[in-house]
Structure 1
Amino acid sequence: MPISPSSSAQEARKNVASRLRELRKEAGLTVVELAGRCGWHHAKTSRIENAKTPPSPMDIRRWCSACRAENRADDLIAASRDAESMYMEWQRQVRQGLRQLQDSYVKLYRSTHLFRVYSPTLVPGLLQTEGYAQAVLSTNAQLLDVPNDAEQAAAARLERSQIIHEPGRRFVMLIEEAVLYYQLGDGDAMAAQLGYLLTAGALPAVSLGIIPRATPARALWPQELFHVYDDSLVSVELLSAQVNITQPSEVELYLKAFERLRGMAVYGADARALILQAIEALQ
């Protein structure tokens, strides 16, 4: 069954829309009557009720006022904000540059005890070296056409990554073997990154698994890059957006997928051998 990374966000939007529709009906108002009280076209009411257009906080306050349910506004605004935070376009998140985005993760990292990361394309951010991180972030800035503060953002990413050396946390990282061969930055930066994987993979709190390219009869095909924070939040990285999933059934699906991927990976000496082969291929 394919994983749908946006369904949690859409379900949350539908829930807000449904609650607003119920308010209107409880007030005995038609779509047209509510629109008249709110001062907008009735088509907007329909779009909001069908979860086609997310309501602004002011829209919700007007809606609740029209239904004489002002006391419901704050809860609905909070629910709407939560729904919209599930699907966060990169373009919106990095308008002021990439450094700010890196800093925004600090609180989440501090509150997490078990990190699970699967990446089919990149070395996970927690294991990136400065040169590699700068190459990744600079490419992102160019793609998104935002201020290129990759040097400062990379420094912030490395500072945040020091959490892997702190006690009380575990880090389970899975990458596809192909990640070792996707060269980002110059040869020296890639060699330094691969060398660091040899070191980081030996840290007591880190489990680094590599899924070999030659794995026969894979239990699961390569998935999108995703992070699991404890057992409560999954963050999926798409080309255009970050999807945050909290719906328990979907979180469970990602955990199931992670375990299947983990079962195909090699660790320890076998993982080191794959990294050393990739280093040799650079020369």
Structure 2
Amino acid sequence: MPSFSFSSAQAARECVSTQLKDLRLGAHLTMQALADLCGWNKAKTSRIESARTTPSDADIRAWCIACRAEDRADDLIAFSRSADMMYVEWRRTQRTGLRSLQQAGVPLYERTALIRAYCSRVVPGLLQTEDYARALLTLVADFRGLPDDVDEAAAARVARSRVVRDGHHRVVLLVEEDVLFQRIAADPVMTAQLAYLRTAMTYPAVSLGIVPSSAPRVIWGIETFTMFDDVRVHVELLSAKVTVTVPGEVLLYQRAFARISRMAVYGPRARALIDRAIDSRGSPE
């Protein structure tokens, strides 16, 4: 399946075309032979393979049947449908400021029964205090040259976090121990944030696991991602957000999350790691 090195949605469409071409070549079919099996003109095969024509669901299914790869059809159809939405540059979603981006995600969080997230560098958004969120979003706005609505964005992020307390959702979060020591904000803010992690661990809907830095790795370090039930994954890159809806790729993230969860510690052992991080900073003011 494709990697996440797309520079645009067109690159995602080209990836679909490349996979279809690989299926044809793997089946040892010429363009004409595939066109004959599918009941269309050879020129259509050429346009699809060069990404000049976006194949319909029926086109993809017919192509896979002709190549005796029926098992690939559903994933390719799902990937083709999501090509235009899967890679969205941050500069597009954030050009009107960060507050609207926080608010835009609320409906998705509210309709998701099981939210799972893995964070390797910062505290998960759903567990951020407003002061921590403000400091983090200030870094983001400065780096990307965005409009200054950080205060409103931080408040919106915290408001979105009500899903961890409203009793209608299950939230499972995994963070690397290094997150506890990242100096995103001044020590008093960081200490208060770490103390809130301890509090959040008592919420009935929340499961927080921390991966000790000393834990033997069963998977290499990967990007931050959030899973919404078993149907959608948001992957955060430096330049863009990638939305994954292809069932086969969603399954990869499920497997990755399961492996990371086996490295994590929970309950008293997790609290001990948080306490150690708090002790390294001192008490909040």
Q: Distance in 2 between matches of 1:203 and 1:187?
A: 25
Alignment correspondent of 1:224: 223
- Report SS of the residue matched to 1:151: helix
In the alignment, does 2:188 pair up with 1:188? yes
- What are structure 2's unaligned runs of at least 5 residues? 21-34, 55-78
Alignment correspondent of 2:122: 122
Q: Distance in 1 between matches of 2:120 and 2:280?
A: 19
- Structure 1 window deviating more from structure 2 (255-264 vs 164-173): it is 164-173
Deviations 1:172-201 (A, max 9, x none): 000000000001111111111001000001
Amino acid in the other structure paired with 1:171 = V
Structure 1's 18 and 170: CA in aligned 2 closer, same or farther, altered over 3 A?
closer
- Report SS of the residue matched to 2:280: helix
- Report SS of the residue matched to 1:282: coil
Structure 1's 18 and 179: CA in aligned 2 closer, same or farther, altered over 3 A?
closer
Q: Distance in 2 between matches of 1:273 and 1:185?
A: 22
Q: Distance in 2 between matches of 1:16 and 1:3?
A: 11
Alignment correspondent of 1:111: 111
Deviations 1:115-138 (A, max 9, x none): 110001010000000011011111
- Report SS of the residue matched to 1:160: helix
Q: Distance in 1 between matches of 2:17 and 2:212?
A: 44
In the alignment, does 2:137 pair up with 1:137? yes
Q: How many residues are matched?
A: 239
In the alignment, does 2:153 pair up with 1:153? yes
- Deviation, 1:5, is 3.6
In the alignment, does 2:264 pair up with 1:265? yes
Alignment correspondent of 2:69: none
- Report SS of the residue matched to 1:239: coil
- Deviation, 1:12, is 4.9
CA RMSD of superposed structures (Å): 3.1
Structure 1's 180 and 3: CA in aligned 2 closer, same or farther, altered over 3 A?
farther
Contact 2:14 2:50 in 1 (8 A): no
Identity fraction in percent: 46
The within-5 A match list for 1:1-283 is: 4-5=3-4, 12=13, 14-15=15-16, 50-51=50-51, 82-216=82-216, 218-283=217-282
Contact 1:5 1:245 in 2 (8 A): no
Contact 2:120 2:223 in 1 (8 A): yes
Deviations 1:190-227 (A, max 9, x none): 111001000001111000000001113x1112210000
- Report SS of the residue matched to 2:101: helix
Deviations 1:242-261 (A, max 9, x none): 00001111110110010000
TM-score, normalization: structure 2? 0.75
TM-score, normalization: structure 1? 0.76
